[in-house]
Amino acid sequence: MKAFSELLDRLVFTPRRSVKLRLIQNYFSHTEDPDRGWALAALTGQLRFPGAKPAIIRALTETRIDPVLFRWSYDYVGDLAETVALVWPAQPGINHEPRLAEVADLLQGASRSEVPGLLEAWLDGLDPTGRWALLKLITGGLRVGVSERLAKTAVAAFGNQEVATIEELWHGLEPPYLDLFSWLEGRGDPPAVDESAAFRPLMLSHAVEEAELEQLDLESFVAEWKWDGIRAQLVARNGESRLFSRNGEDISPSFPDLLAEVDFDAVLDGELLVAFNGHVASFNDLQQRLGRKAPSAKQFRDYPAHLKVYDLLVEAGEDLRPLPFIERRRRLERWFARLQPERMDLSDIVPIMDVEQLIRLRREARATGVEGLMLKRASSPYLAGRPKGHWFKFKRDPHTADAVLMYAQRGHGRRSSYYSDYTFGAWNEEGALVPIGKAYSGFTDAELKRLDKWVRDNTVDRFGPVRAVKPGLVLEVAFDAVQPSKRHKSGIALRFPRIARIRWDKPIAEAEQLETLRNLIS
Amino acid sequence: MKREAHPENWLQITPQGLYCRPGDFFIDPHRPVERAVITHGHADHARPDHHRVLATAETLAIIQTRYGDRAGHSFQALKYGESIELGETRVRLVPAGHVLGSAQVVVEWGGWRVVVSGDYKRRRDPTCAPFEVVPCDVFVTEATFALPVFRHPPDAEEIHRLLHSVSVFPERSHLVGVYALGKAQRVIRLLREAGWDRPLFIHGALRPLCELYEALGVGLGELRVATEARGEDLAGEILLAPPSALADRWSRRFADPLPAVASGWMRVRQRARQRNVELPLIISDHADWQELTRTLEEVQAPEVWVTHGSEEALIHWCRLRGIRGRALSLIGRGEEEQEEVV
């Protein structure tokens, strides 16, 4: 546990990616199995300990320290794991420091009533950094600035492999990854790829702006609509079929209606949408289906899942990824014409004439379900990751609205002393401000300082970490769409809102009317 | 011991600061006064332009180094333990263990004894005399780190973490943010004790006080002014600077600088991250939670006045133990300490 907690502690304070990679690789080289495998599982977010709830940790801590002092400490620190790690009174003489593998093993099998006993003994045996790492680990979400992909990149570099190779194997691997490490150290064979339903790492695109379009040789590109759903990969082989999100997360349980229709042998790349008889519904409708472990019959009926297919990676066991895009597309069209699978259709090819036409198409691409255009180089093979110069996304411009700052909340992480999360509103028919959304990005550090000061100077009320401010500051907010919302009093919600500009100059009376925004609901 | 002679009737907060009426003097006033008793040389306790200044010889030397002509009109040095009469009161200074020359002020009048401890810590510090426990009727304590989350680890461990980082990243310059008075010299001495005998490179702002410490008998080994060396030659070296210089243009000249800060605030990770510190070193000249509560137990004062910091938590702790605790709001304290002094 010591090496793992020191690793996390260093990662938290390390801003640079290259140094993070070095720290993780260094950890893998100096740590034994199975601990390092459990660390990899933690860094890639594979560990879940449903029995270890924050409430249990809080209750346990209050048996050891005065609840008032604990509450004030928590208010001050703002993070439960860190607070408990720091206030936990050391027990002189107790020094059994658990191994990471011991923690993972015991906790996975533990019932809810066994968790406090295990935790208490471990907290007594660890130093403050160890306690912090333990609590971060079991409450989920390490938040040490390491993405799943960065962790995989580090383990790949540790064994001199490409990260795509690791990603391809990944689905068939289980913590603590003994076979993976054995192979990476040259002691064993590569782990077998689970052919039946392995995730193939996706090919991703770069954003392109109008000005850059001129530099592209458009004749060598093929255009498609950019669909406003979620990217998905459908893998079907030997009668088994699975649906993966763009990160390789298995989302099959949420979409049995789509998978029920599958009776082929192929790997498809496409956009997951909700559609009625081929008519694509809004992203808001799709959201009703995301993250549901066991969707109801009503949800199947009201929000039927649909796959817009745009690539064919494997056909009957044959890997098509090395083929040029245009050749894969031909194979896809023939395959689709032959099978005509239910709940699926092909993403149309949009003929390209010139730059002006693309700009016009993008501007007009306000139709439901479309958020711009994709440009794919005809000769490109299917390459994992985000290779340069192959695929481009040409997204439509966001909407903007002038909104009035209403509430501010203290941020997290490096922003925990700043009021950095802003709730803003628009004027309703009665001339009152109602909240329409929340944003916490789109401004510089210098602007954040000024906003933070403004909030402190104009506070009229406080609710825990939230301050209500006197209406007086207009924020120009950019967003991708407006959706109906039952959660907001305004009845609407903005999609991907971010701060475009801070209008220190603008009077609040000139801010947006709610009705204008309501008219944008797609 | 008469009730009407209770210190709350003669030791009071005034616009200039804490005033002792029967002695006609102020303790650490933040505005110029006729007579000031100064606990130690940090700028939030020792202000310029007082008329008569009473303190330890070391503190007087520090004030004179910092303020020059504005240090005061006349000075009176008092040895630790030596007692004198000021007005109707009897006053002596005893070591506070905070920085070189730091003292607690023991004031006696009307059968009551009050100890104004200034800032203090209880652990060993190779640059100053250790804190001395003086049992008293009223103890005035700081509360900078008065929350149970603040438990400073042994300083040798923190110095070891710094040296370990230097060995793991030998191509980088380690820049350690330290307060110019006390922290800088303590970190230097701790590095020497840990066996680091290479020259240490300091920011020009640290030089006058380092020289003064040397002159007062605190050996610091070889120090060089960092800007007199070539930036690329400082890879693998340790540099010390005021914390504000870390984010300043001053730091850009050095080889791939690795920012570290030595402060009690580094205990809380988010605090350290907010300041873009890559290597937080938890080294403080203020008492942590355990030192504070241990001190309150040892001085056995039935009444405790709590100044700058998390007063509430310490007063709550007092209440749980039947000690009468009250907050004493001293203007001008704390803000600066929050960021720099510790």
CATH number at residue A251: 3.30.470.30
For residue A368, what pLDDT is reported?
61
Contact yes or no for A86 and B267 at CB 8 A: yes
Statement to judge: residues A389 and A403 lie in one domain: no
d(CA A147, CA A163): 13
Catalytic residue from among A20, A136, A152, A226: A226
d(CA A83, CA A71): 9
* CB-CB neighbors (< 8 A) of A76 in chain B: 147, 149, 268, 310
Statement to judge: residues A237 and A357 lie in one domain: yes
For residue A456, what pLDDT is reported?
87
Burial B31-61 (b: 16+ CB within 10 A, else e): eebebbbbbbbbbbbbbeebeebbbbebbbb
Statement to judge: residues A370 and A424 lie in one domain: no
Centre a 10 Å sphere on the Cβ of residue A360 and count the other Cβ atoms it contains.
Answer: 12
- Is A156 part of a structural domain of the chain? no
Query: Which of B269, B277, B316 has the CB atom closest to A68's CB atom?
Result: B316
> CB-based contact (8 Å) between B316 and chain A?
yes
Statement to judge: residues A337 and A317 lie in one domain: yes
Residue A172 has pLDDT above 90, yes or no: no
Contact yes or no for A79 and B278 at CB 8 A: no
For residue B338, what pLDDT is reported?
43
Name which of A71, A73, A88, A417 to mutate to probe chain B: the one with the most chain B Cβ atoms within 10 A of its Cβ. Answer: A73
Rounded average pLDDT over A463-470: 83
Contact yes or no for B269 and A12 at CB 8 A: yes
d(CA B288, CA B263): 12
Closest Cα in chain B to A15: B278
Statement to judge: residues A105 and A33 lie in one domain: yes
For residue A240, what pLDDT is reported?
85
A74 alpha-carbon distance from chain centroid: 28
Average the pLDDT over each of A84-93, A284-293, A512-521, B209-218 and give the range with the smallest value: A284-293
Statement to judge: residues A49 and A122 lie in one domain: yes
d(CA A390, CA A381): 9
Contact yes or no for A415 and B274 at CB 8 A: yes
Tell me the CB-side half-sphere exposure of residue B301, using CA atoms within 13 A.
29
Contact yes or no for A12 and B313 at CB 8 A: no
Residue B336 has pLDDT above 70, yes or no: no
In chain B, beta strands by DSSP E: 11-14, 17-20, 25-27, 35-37, 52-55, 74-77, 83-86, 89-95, 103-109, 112-116, 138-143, 174-177, 200-202, 223-225, 238-241, 258-262, 279-281, 303-309, 324-327
For residue A196, what pLDDT is reported?
60
Of A139, A167, A191, which marks where a domain is finished?
A: A139
Helices (H), A44-147: 54-62, 67-77, 80-87, 100-109, 115-125, 128-139
- Is A183 part of a structural domain of the chain? no
* Structure-block tokens of residue B171: 């191509």
Give chain A's domain count. 3
Rounded average pLDDT over B305-310: 85
Contact yes or no for B148 and A78 at CB 8 A: no
Question: Coil, strand, or helix at residue B122?
Answer: coil
pLDDT in tens, B224-263: 999 888 888 899 999 999 988 886 678 768 878 899 999 9
Rounded average pLDDT over A246-252: 82
Longest dimension (CA), chain B: 69
Statement to judge: residues A380 and A408 lie in one domain: no
Residue A341 has pLDDT above 60, yes or no: yes
* CB-CB neighbors (< 8 A) of B280 in chain A: 13
d(CA A211, CA B117): 68
Domain CATH number, residue A34: 1.10.3260.10
CB pairs under 8 A between A and B: 69
Contact yes or no for B268 and A65 at CB 8 A: no
For residue B197, what pLDDT is reported?
95
For residue B245, what pLDDT is reported?
85
Contact yes or no for B274 and A69 at CB 8 A: no
d(CA B298, CA B289): 14
Tokens 């503190």 -> residue: B59
Statement to judge: residues A302 and A429 lie in one domain: no
Residue A116 has pLDDT above 50, yes or no: yes
Q: Which domains does chain B have, with CATH numbers?
A: 3-149+286-341 (3.60.15.10), 155-281 (3.40.50.12650)
Closest Cα in chain A to B168: A23
d(CA A137, CA A97): 16
* CB-CB neighbors (< 8 A) of A14 in chain B: 278
Tokens 């720091």 -> residue: A86
For residue B248, what pLDDT is reported?
67
d(CA B152, CA B303): 26
- Is A177 part of a structural domain of the chain? no
- Is A492 part of a structural domain of the chain? yes
Q: Please list the residues that pair with A230 across neighbouring strands.
A: A272
Q: Residue B75 phi/psi, 5° resolution?
A: -125, 145
Burial A188-214 (b: 16+ CB within 10 A, else e): eeebeeeeebbbbbbbebeebeeeebe
Nearest CA distance, B214 vs chain A (angstrom): 35
Whether A394 and A226 have beta carbons less than 8 Å apart is answered as yes
d(CA B203, CA B250): 9
Closest Cα in chain B to A83: B149
Spell out the residues 6+ positions from residue A323 whose beta carbon is closer than 8 angstroms to its own: A331, A381, A382
Domain CATH number, residue A478: 2.40.50.140
Longest dimension (CA), chain A: 78
The H or E element spanning position A325 is: helix A325-339
DSSP string, B89-121: EEEEEEE-SSSTT-EEEEEEETTEEEEE--S--
Task: Respond yes or no: is residue A226 known to be catalytic.
Answer: yes
What type of residue is A468? A
- Is A308 part of a structural domain of the chain? yes
d(CA A284, CA B206): 60
For residue B1, what pLDDT is reported?
65
pLDDT in tens, A183-198: 999 999 988 876 667 8
Contact yes or no for A86 and B317 at CB 8 A: no
B186 CB-contact burial (10 Å; exposed 0-12 / middle 13-18 / buried 19+):
buried
Nearest CA distance, B278 vs chain A (angstrom): 5
List the one residue out of A511, A410, A510 whose CA is nearest residue A456.
A410
Query: Which of B147, B149, B270 has the CB atom closest to A416's CB atom?
Result: B270
d(CA B75, CA B92): 16
- Is A165 part of a structural domain of the chain? no
Nearest CA distance, A15 vs chain B (angstrom): 8
Statement to judge: residues A8 and A107 lie in one domain: yes
Statement to judge: residues A431 and A511 lie in one domain: yes
> CB-based contact (8 Å) between B150 and chain A?
yes
d(CA B158, CA A421): 35
Whether B155 and B298 have beta carbons less than 8 Å apart is answered as no
pLDDT in tens, B39-50: 999 999 999 999
Closest Cα in chain A to B265: A77
Query: Which of A14, A73, A78 has the CB atom closest to B148's CB atom?
Result: A73
Name which of B144, B145, B149, B294 to mutate to probe chain A: the one with the most chain A Cβ atoms within 10 A of its Cβ. Answer: B149
d(CA A161, CA A148): 16
- Is A498 part of a structural domain of the chain? yes
Q: What is the DSSP secondary structure assignment for residue A385, as one 8-state letter?
A: B
pLDDT in tens, A367-424: 667 888 999 999 999 998 889 999 999 988 788 899 999 999 877 655 656 788 999 9
Q: Which domain holds residue A376?
A: 206-395
* CB-CB neighbors (< 8 A) of A415 in chain B: 274
* CB-CB neighbors (< 8 A) of B149 in chain A: 73, 76-77, 83, 86-87
Of A108, A139, A170, which marks where a domain is finished?
A: A139
For residue A498, what pLDDT is reported?
92
Contact yes or no for A13 and B270 at CB 8 A: no
Question: Coil, strand, or helix at residue B208?
Answer: helix
Q: What is the DSSP secondary structure assignment for residue A253, as one 8-state letter?
A: G
pLDDT in tens, B61-72: 999 999 999 999
For residue B334, what pLDDT is reported?
44
Whether A316 and A265 have beta carbons less than 8 Å apart is answered as yes
List the one residue out of A232, A308, A5, A30 whose CA is nearest residue A130.
A5
Nearest CA distance, B184 vs chain A (angstrom): 23
* CB-CB neighbors (< 8 A) of B276 in chain A: 15, 414
Statement to judge: residues A433 and A319 lie in one domain: no
> CB-based contact (8 Å) between B265 and chain A?
no
> CB-based contact (8 Å) between B164 and chain A?
no
> CB-based contact (8 Å) between B270 and chain A?
yes
* CB-CB neighbors (< 8 A) of A449 in chain B: none
Whether A145 and A14 have beta carbons less than 8 Å apart is answered as yes
* Structure-block tokens of residue A230: 């979620």
Omega of the bond leading into A92 within 30 degrees of 0 (cis): no
* Structure-block tokens of residue A240: 């088994």
Rounded average pLDDT over B204-220: 97
d(CA A457, CA B19): 33
Band the pLDDT of B333: cuts 50, 70, 90.
low
Question: Coil, strand, or helix at residue A286?
Answer: helix
Closest Cα in chain B to A14: B278
Closest Cα in chain B to A132: B269
Centre a 10 Å sphere on the Cβ of residue B331 and count the other Cβ atoms it contains.
Answer: 12
List the one residue out of A465, A424, A420, A469 whose CA is nearest residue A447.
A420
Phi-psi region at A114: left, alpha or beta (left = phi > 0; alpha = psi -120 to 50): alpha
- Is A42 part of a structural domain of the chain? yes
Numbered residues of chain A with Cβ closer than 8 Å to any chain B Cβ: 12-15, 65-66, 68-70, 72-73, 76-79, 82-83, 86-87, 128, 132, 413-417
* CB-CB neighbors (< 8 A) of A70 in chain B: 148
Contact yes or no for A66 and B320 at CB 8 A: yes
Omega of the bond leading into A176 within 30 degrees of 0 (cis): yes
> CB-based contact (8 Å) between B160 and chain A?
no
ipTM of the complex: 0.90
Closest Cα in chain B to A79: B270
* CB-CB neighbors (< 8 A) of B274 in chain A: 414-417
Name which of B269, B279, B281, B292 to mutate to probe chain A: the one with the most chain A Cβ atoms within 10 A of its Cβ. Answer: B269
Contacts for A275-278 with beta carbons within 8 Å, 24 or more apart? A275/A304, A275/A306, A275/A369, A276/A304, A278/A345
Rounded average pLDDT over A327-352: 94
Contact yes or no for B268 and A415 at CB 8 A: no
d(CA A1, CA A10): 14
> CB-based contact (8 Å) between B281 and chain A?
no
* CB-CB neighbors (< 8 A) of B267 in chain A: 86
User: What is the pairing mode between strands B83-86 and A391-395?
Assistant: unpaired
Distance of CA A92 to CAs A89, A95, A124, B147, Å? 9, 8, 9, 21
Question: Coil, strand, or helix at residue A446?
Answer: helix
For residue A282, what pLDDT is reported?
81
* CB-CB neighbors (< 8 A) of A416 in chain B: 270, 274
Contact yes or no for B269 and A69 at CB 8 A: no
Statement to judge: residues A404 and A324 lie in one domain: no
Of A139, A167, A187, which marks where a domain is finished?
A: A139
For residue B3, what pLDDT is reported?
75
Residue A503 has pLDDT above 70, yes or no: yes
Residue B339 has pLDDT above 60, yes or no: no
A121 CB-contact burial (10 Å; exposed 0-12 / middle 13-18 / buried 19+):
middle
Contact yes or no for B149 and A86 at CB 8 A: yes
For residue A86, what pLDDT is reported?
95
Centre a 10 Å sphere on the Cβ of residue A66 and count the other Cβ atoms it contains.
Answer: 16
Whether B272 and B278 have beta carbons less than 8 Å apart is answered as no
List the one residue out of B191, B288, B279, B146 whose CA is nearest residue A19.
B279
